[in-house]
Amino acid sequence: MCGILAVLGCSDDSQAKRVRVLELSRRLKHRGPDWSGLYQHGDFYLAHQRLAIIDPASGDQPLFNEDKRIVVTVNGEIYNHEQLRKSLPNHKFRTGSDCDVIAHLYEEHGENFVDMLDGMFSFVLLDTRDNSFIVARDAIGITSLYIGWGLDGSVWISSELKGLHDDCEHFEVFPPGHLYSSKNGGLRRWYNPPWFSEAIPSTPYEPLVLRRAFENAVIKRLMTDVPFGVLLSGGLDSSLVAAITARYLAGTKAAKQWGAQLHSFCVGLEGSPDLKAAKEVSDYLGTVHHEFHFTVQDGIDAIEDVIHHVETYDVTTIRASTPMFLMSRKIKSLGVKMVISGEGSDEIFGGYLYFHKAPNKEEFHRETCRKIKALHQYDCLRANKATSAWGVEARVPFLDKEFINVAMSIDPESKMIKLGEGRIEKWILRRAFDDEEHPYLPKHILYRQKEQFSDGVGYSWIDGLKAHAELHVTDKMMLNAEHIFPHNTPTTKEAYYYRTIFERSFPQNSASLTVPGGPSVACSTAKAIEWDASWSENLDPSGRAAVGVHNSAYEKLLPSVANGNLAPTMIDDVPRMVGIPAKELTIQS
């Protein structure tokens, strides 16, 4: 994952300004430790910090068209770049980089080419023929991007806040699925899928169609010229990613280059649920498994670095980012530069525990739409920045544009959780990969319950964070919280502690406004409370607050006849969950 920085029309083409842009760009070097570049055209500056994944030898940026009058700095991966090259037979490409197609597409199609890109990306394109420029961000916001404005009329673009927050009068999150055009003077949405209007879809659920769409999403993300692996927590989403990847690798070019065995990575406290579950999945799939341990103190010691890199004070995000941040450092030490991860499934399929309470399919669908639209502020931000902090790129197949279109066109009635029929959360995804002849995963893994990532790495992690905050934030400080932090006032000592650290790195008002408002609660959102008022008592972001939902729900299911093994069976093509008592269930993310 690279880092981009652009200063556009700043009315200053001096050497001092160039030096300042270089200085700010170096703040993003962790995102791209392999090479750096800066292009200057008058008072326009395009800087790049490169993480070389595709064509490491010649793909340095900024990139150009044939006559070098169109210049691009890009962060991301364009998975369909080979097909796009074929559609541009009259163009000559200087590099093998997947991002090399962008300048040529603009030359051929003007500003209306962005929807042709299949991938994750943020880019700035400068047309030196008229000094116009465009900026675009991928559909869901997998790559991070910010936009700022200077008093001199300049526009600033940066992959992270730290690249622009000291030099801009005002800055904010660049919205996903949007394009900024200097010719039109503003933002417009380029990503307009049918589901975005929240109209209720009606396509019947076809398991094989969903399976093939997700397999394609994973396989296209195996495009790499460097060593890679998968993040494996042992839960449904990461296990499916690992299973598909392991199947595909045999006999492929990637397998011959990096070895036939897939490498998998997991992090947790000693004895945590994730470590145990991930080892079980790894043994089943035959991956080369790397298990990383950390202590609560290790995590607490890293909190300031995590907040500096992830650039948020959101409680849930920080809790989950810290183990991922520590794991990414270990992954990079092994020489791995790209990993595939499982973010996005819960938002698409209604996997969060409060979806048990959805009153009807219309409410269910609209809530999944809302969750997907907010991903760039939470899970995408975590996955992108926690890994980029150490020069590792995270790819997320569940957020593939084509896969989302398939999954979000399915009649939400099929996604509804109906325990009486054995339909637990994300049932349609589980059933799509429930292959009796050639199993992707063991049954008890395929139908394993959900747990928050921050819980799965070890329950004492969250307890330790709360205890640490209790020591450093007094009751008196909390009494004055609304005066110190009038926007997004922290309501717990843990939230107050994170906020004070954030303010030290990013004291500007614009910075605090980039973090979403309201209580950051994964299992008890406003919608959950609306569906069931009892959820208002579960205000902690930890998934443990919702264990009662599962306990009461799964106790209704038939007891296991398999001597304590959780094993769904298929009767008349309708799966029926059978399992051990709910209090003994292992629940995973």
Collapsed DSSP state (helix, strand, coil) of residue 134: strand
Edge-to-edge strand ranges of the sheet holding 146-149: 35-41, 44-50, 3-8, 155-158, 146-149, 170-173
Cα separation, 29 vs 25, in Å, equals: 7
Question: What secondary structure letter does DSSP report for 587?
Answer: B
Tokens, residue 514: 């980039």
Cα separation, 88 vs 501, in Å, equals: 49
Question: How many Cβ atoms are within 10 Å of 584's Cβ, its own excluded?
Answer: 9
DSSP of 418-444: BGGGTB-TTHHHHHHT--SSS-SS-HH
Cα separation, 441 vs 69, in Å, equals: 52
Q: Is the peptide bond before 439 cis (omega within 30 degrees of 0)?
A: no
Which residues lie across from 189 on neighbouring strands?
Answer: 178
Tokens, residue 470: 């209790």
| 231 has binding-site annotation | yes
Question: One of 2, 168, 369, 380 is an active-site residue; which one?
Answer: 2
Cα separation, 532 vs 174, in Å, equals: 34
Cα separation, 302 vs 231, in Å, equals: 20
| 341 has binding-site annotation | yes
Question: How many Cβ atoms are within 10 Å of 558's Cβ, its own excluded?
Answer: 11
| 98 has binding-site annotation | yes
Q: Which residue type, as a one-letter code, is found at position 147?
A: I
Cβ-based neighbours of 438, under 8 Å, separated by 6 or more: none
What are the backbone angles phi and psi of residue 16, rounded to the nearest 5°? Answer: -60, -40
DSSP of 307-334: HHHH----HHHHHHHHHHHHHHHHHHHT
- Closest listed residue to residue 433, CA positions, set 230, 210, 203: 210
Is position 2 annotated as part of the catalytic site?
Answer: yes
Handedness of CA 484, 488, 489, 494 (dihedral sign): negative
- Are 343 and 398 spatial neighbours (Cβ–Cβ below 8 Å)? yes
| 55 has binding-site annotation | no
Which residues are documented as binding site for ATP?
Answer: 231, 267, 341-342
Which residues are documented as binding site?
Answer: 98, 231, 267, 341-342
Which residues are marked as active site? 2
Which residues are documented as binding site for L-glutamine?
Answer: 98
